[in-house]
């Protein structure tokens, strides 16, 4: 007979918890969800007040039978799934499968998997929080309705197999809108004047920037303005007119929330969101350490709270004073944003004594990097501010005003461990100066610049924007971005997120026909409704009813309006060699391709070859752009017929006008041979794939070189 049966979500978590439970306890894993909506149909009975039709997940029958057997043999069953809405929903489904009354005391949670936390959780079981489970259920049902109602419209008007998601569609819209901003951006000219001077005592040189004239700020937008000022300054004498000394403090950032962890891991470690959450999950569930066994290293990683427990604050204080000294410690409390869910602490190390270096040999490279980031950020959050001595010097010449800023670090404080963002502003090393002192002009130069368009989103900046706008929640950011990348609505190029042609077409259709679904404010409002359900202030079916009434009417209206509308395609200048019609540009999974508009009578299709304006540096013919499997561009002459046949030009690098080409025979030959094999395949959907035919081996080989 089993004394206590504890059901968690993963085997790793089960292994860690086992060692803390004595007696005849047994810990098993549900392997995530065991019940869900069916994949083959919507699974929501709209006529019966949106009742979900849950089924046991295919392939989990033997696991379910095993759980039932263990539950039957146990005196008491505890459902110890993750401490969030998703975990609460899994516990609710487990209770249904195992015949456990959700109103019974059967639910335990652990914010961190330590002996104390597990013991505390087991000593304080509770009922299943049906409000939390309903909040997850509401999200699942609403997202299923949106997907199943809008996706068929995309199938009819764009391409079969496409799908639309509520949060994903808003994320795509943000990326498309940003790209359109960039395309419409008109650069504006501006100038800076930099004055290099030196003091006469020490001969130390420092740079001053032009700020204005007679105490008034002036912005420079033309060469004529700049030339006029430079002429006025030609014989000017320069004097120090102002010296201000001060002290500047720089405070540490709060410990990580889910979104700030994802942002920093992206910026500092180059981790994709999905990878960050996967590695963090493994650190939370536990890793095997010598002398400790299976040990959870961090607290729960899905949280938007910056709250820290008193025990963690005391442990951090003791460690900081011991390692760095009392002047490095400063007791700090961080206020959680009013809209945040404060069920969990911030993400922090579970055991302060387990420093990154101490556990390094037991972790994978990625685990070590992320654990060090989390550990150092938390410890820094409890340390003293960094302190700088600052000086600002005003220098005038012929009534024109220049300014120099300097700073030196006086006390490193928390920056001993962690720096959130590196200093962007450059500071000069400025000598001791006095007001009225004359300085010598060493050099003066003007620099022309142009304003730049807004930056494209990265995974980190998109997460930040989604959080700021109240779209989604910590657990949704990674799957949202992963999904729209997999659907090829966007692509990632050197960390930047760029909409594909397919993404633009889908976004245009959704914006024009389902405005609310891709509306930022409306999506944020729905999230607030989910939050109200979670605390019991709203009923989940009422929220779904209020959403579906206008949404259902919109779907019916759009279906009627688009019934006789055919999506028009851009016509190319290439005739179909089978029937003579001018081929059109269509969008496939791998981007643009040419197709005969006579489909289905004529099913001719072939890849759309992109070209550049610069001629082939070898023979002067047209250069084509093709792509490897990992979407890296390479360039090839249209007359390249193979090794030893026609022009031999092929290169990773875009050719420049008049540039001499020196082939790298090994790499170029390998690129060509791989491309040649793929070019013989079917030129429809697979033919568009031809441009992605290079192997990872080639890319890796080039990277190494």
Question: Can you tell me the distance from the alpha carbon of 124 to that of 409, in angstroms, rounded to the nearest whole number?
Answer: 49
Quickly list H helices, 395-458: none
Question: Can you tell me the distance from the alpha carbon of 231 to that of 242, in angstroms, rounded to the nearest whole number?
Answer: 24
Where is pLDDT greater, at 568 or 265? Answer: 265
Highest mean pLDDT among 112-126, 414-428, 684-698: 112-126
Please say if the pLDDT value at position 692 is more than 50. no
Where is pLDDT greater, at 5 or 597? Answer: 5
Which residues contact residue 226 at a Cβ distance below 8 angstroms, ignoring those fewer than 6 apart? 191, 193, 220, 446
Please say if the pLDDT value at position 396 is more than 80. yes
Residue-wise pLDDT tens digits, 97-155: 999 999 999 999 999 999 999 999 999 999 999 999 999 999 999 999 999 999 888 88
| Dihedral sign for Cα atoms in the order 635, 639, 640, 646 | negative
> So which residues are the catalytic ones?
300
Cβ(500)–Cβ(188) below 8 Å: no
Please say if the pLDDT value at position 665 is more than 70. no
User: Is residue 528 packed enough to be buried (19+ CB in 10 Å), middle (13-18) or exposed (0-12)?
Assistant: exposed
What is the 3-state composition of the chain as percent helix, strand, coil, each rounded to the nearest 5? 40, 25, 40
SS3 68: helix
- State mean pLDDT over 49-68: 95
Q: Bridge-partner residues for 646, per DSSP?
A: 640
For the record, the structure tokens of 496 come out as 């930047």
Residue 669's pLDDT band (cuts 50, 70, 90): low
- State mean pLDDT over 209-225: 96
| Dihedral sign for Cα atoms in the order 632, 637, 638, 640 | negative
Give the range among 92-106, 156-170, 312-326, 542-556 with minimum mean pLDDT.
156-170
Give the pLDDT of residue 688. 36
| Dihedral sign for Cα atoms in the order 517, 522, 525, 527 | positive
Q: Which residues of 83-113 are buried (b: 16+ CB within 10 A; e: fewer)?
A: bbbbbbbbbbbbbebbebebeeebbbbbbbb
Give the pLDDT of residue 288. 93
How many C-beta neighbours within 10 Å does residue 423 have? 10
Classify strands 25-29 and 35-36 as parallel, antiparallel or unpaired. Answer: unpaired
Please say if the pLDDT value at position 339 is more than 80. no
Residue-wise pLDDT tens digits, 574-596: 899 999 999 988 766 666 788 99
Give the pLDDT of residue 456. 95
- The DSSP call for residue 427 is -
Give the pLDDT of residue 697. 39
Give the pLDDT of residue 666. 52
Please say if the pLDDT value at position 698 is more than 90. no
Question: Can you tell me the distance from the alpha carbon of 545 to that of 539, in angstroms, rounded to the nearest whole number?
Answer: 10
Report how far apart the first and last C-alpha atoms of the chain are (Å, whole number).
Answer: 63
Question: Can you tell me the distance from the alpha carbon of 129 to that of 536, in angstroms, rounded to the nearest whole number?
Answer: 10
Residue 699's pLDDT band (cuts 50, 70, 90): very low
Cβ(510)–Cβ(164) below 8 Å: yes
SS3 217: strand
∠ CA(213), CA(218), CA(223), 5° rounding? 105
SS3 641: strand
Residue-wise pLDDT tens digits, 361-384: 999 999 999 999 999 999 999 999
Which residues contact residue 661 at a Cβ distance below 8 angstroms, ignoring those fewer than 6 apart? 617, 618, 649, 651, 655
Mean pLDDT rounded to a whole number for the chain: 88
């Amino acid at each position: 007979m089993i004394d206590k049966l504890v059901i968690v979500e993963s085997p790793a978590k089960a292994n860690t918890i086992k060692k803390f439970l004595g007696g005849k306890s047994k810990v098993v894993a549900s392997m995530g969800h065991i019940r869900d909506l069916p994949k083959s149909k919507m699974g929501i009975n709209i006529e019966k007040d949106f009742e979900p039709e849950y089924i046991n997940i295919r392939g989990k029958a033997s696991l379910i039978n095993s759980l039932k057997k263990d539950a039957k043999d146990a005196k008491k069953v505890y459902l110890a799934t993750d401490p969030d809405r998703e975990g609460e929903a899994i516990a609710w489904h487990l209770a249904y499968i195992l015949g456990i009354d959700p109103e019974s005391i059967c639910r335990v949670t652990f914010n961190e998997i330590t002996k104390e936390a597990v013991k505390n959780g087991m000593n304080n079981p509770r009922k299943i929080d049906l409000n939390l489970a309903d909040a997850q259920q509401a999200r699942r049902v609403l997202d299923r309705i949106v997907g199943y109602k809008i996706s068929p419209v995309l199938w009819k008007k764009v391409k079969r197999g496409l799908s639309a998601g509520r949060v994903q569609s808003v994320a795509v819209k943000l990326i498309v809108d940003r790209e359109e901003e960039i395309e419409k951006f008109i650069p504006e000219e501006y100038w800076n004047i930099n004055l290099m001077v030196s003091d006469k005592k020490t001969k130390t040189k420092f740079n001053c920037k032009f700020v204005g004239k007679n105490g008034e700020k002036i912005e420079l937008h033309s060469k004529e303005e700049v030339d006029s000022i430079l002429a006025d300054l030609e014989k000017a004498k320069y004097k120090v007119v102002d010296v201000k000394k001060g002290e500047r403090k720089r405070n540490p950032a709060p410990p990580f929330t889910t979104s700030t962890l994802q942002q920093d891991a992206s910026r500092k470690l180059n981790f994709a969101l999905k990878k960050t959450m996967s590695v963090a999950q493994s650190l939370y569930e536990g890793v095997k350490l010598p002398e400790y066994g299976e040990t959870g290293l961090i607290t729960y990683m899905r949280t938007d709270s910056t709250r820290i427990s008193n025990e963690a604050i005391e442990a951090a204080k003791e460690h900081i004073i011991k390692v760095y000294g009392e002047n490095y410690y400063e007791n700090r409390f961080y206020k959680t944003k009013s809209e945040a869910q404060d069920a969990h602490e911030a993400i922090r190390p579970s055991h302060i004594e387990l420093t990154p270096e101490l556990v390094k040999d037991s972790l994978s490279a990625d685990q070590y990097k992320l654990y060090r980031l989390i550990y150092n950020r938390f410890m820094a959050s409890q340390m003293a501010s960094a302190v700088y001595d600052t000086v600002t010097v005003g220098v005038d010449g012929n009534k024109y005003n220049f300014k120099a800023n300097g700073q030196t670090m006086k006390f490193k404080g928390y920056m001993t461990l962690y720096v959130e963002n590196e200093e962007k502003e450059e500071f000069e090393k400025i000598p001791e100066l006095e007001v009225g002192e004359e300085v010598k002009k060493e050099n003066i130069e003007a620099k022309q610049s142009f304003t730049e368009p807004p930056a494209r989103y990265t995974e980190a900046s998109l997460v930040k924007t989604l959080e700021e706008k109240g779209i989604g929640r910590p657990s949704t950011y990674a799957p949202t971005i992963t999904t729209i990348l997999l659907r090829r609505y966007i692509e990632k190029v050197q960390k930047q997120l760029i909409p594909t042609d397919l993404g633009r077409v889908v976004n245009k259709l959704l914006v024009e026909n389902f405005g609310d679904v891709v509306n930022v404010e409306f999506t944020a409002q729905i999230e607030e409704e989910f939050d109200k359900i979670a605390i019991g202030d709203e009923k989940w079916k009422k929220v779904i009813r209020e959403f579906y009434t206008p949404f259902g009417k919109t779907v019916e209206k759009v279906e009627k309006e688009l019934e006789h509308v055919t999506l028009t395609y851009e016509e190319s200048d290439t005739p179909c060699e089978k029937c003579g019609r001018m081929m059109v540009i269509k969008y496939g999974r791998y981007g643009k391709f040419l197709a005969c508009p006579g489909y289905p009578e004529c099913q001719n299709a072939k890849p759309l070859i992109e070209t550049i304006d610069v001629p082939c540096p070898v023979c002067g013919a047209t250069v084509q752009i093709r792509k490897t499997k990992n979407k890296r561009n390479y360039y090839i002459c249209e007359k390249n017929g193979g090794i030893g046949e026609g022009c031999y030009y092929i290169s990773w690098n875009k050719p420049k006008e008049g540039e001499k080409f020196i082939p790298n025979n090994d790499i170029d030959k390998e690129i060509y041979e791989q491309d040649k094999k793929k070019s013989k395949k079917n030129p429809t959907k697979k033919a568009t794939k031809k441009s992605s035919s290079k192997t990872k081996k080639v890319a890796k080989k080039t990277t190494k070189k």
